[in-house]
Amino acid sequence: MNEKIQKLLLFLTSCGFIGYLPFAPGTYASVLGCVLVYLFPFHSIFINLIFVCCFIIFSIICINMLKLDGRDPGYIVIDEMAGMFVTMAGHKATILNILIGFVLFRVFDIIKPYPIKKIEDLGKGYGIVADDILAGIFANLVLVVWGKLA
């Protein structure tokens, strides 16, 4: 693969090289996702879902182009950003919602309750992204319930 394309893919999949930070790069990428959700809120659920689906596909394609050996290297954090976008899909981008969504997403992503851990077995970019998408879905559903109870 062309060296420039490889560098671009590493830039994208590491979220601007955030993935190379020495401690908790996935958390930093999730924070970046929160900032982007806050700065660029979607007012249409339809447009929001199209964006999230496109971003997920883009993430998988970029990761697969890196031709990894099947493991999930720590520097790839675009999947955490995608998971944060899934977490906030359909919710108002208030500071409180984003903060709660962030905490929920990180808890589900770190603890990986069943079936989140199992879905990593898909391999390649699919497994790398899928566990974060599922963690985002779990967090999103808890946000829905919280919104109904609040």
What are the per-10-residue average pLDDT scores of the chain (150 residues)? Answer: 93 97 96 98 95 98 87 92 98 96 98 93 91 98 91
- What pLDDT is stored for residue 70 in this prediction? 65
User: What is the phi-psi region of residue 67: left when phi exceeds 0, alpha when psi lies from -120 to 50, beta otherwise?
Assistant: left
Euclidean distance between CA atoms 38 and 49, whole angstroms: 16
Euclidean distance between CA atoms 140 and 117, whole angstroms: 18
- What pLDDT is stored for residue 115 in this prediction? 94
Euclidean distance between CA atoms 9 and 91, whole angstroms: 30
Write out the two tokens for 19.
């993935």
Euclidean distance between CA atoms 135 and 128, whole angstroms: 12
- What pLDDT is stored for residue 18 in this prediction? 97
Euclidean distance between CA atoms 24 and 69, whole angstroms: 22
To which H or E segment does residue 62 belong? helix 45-65
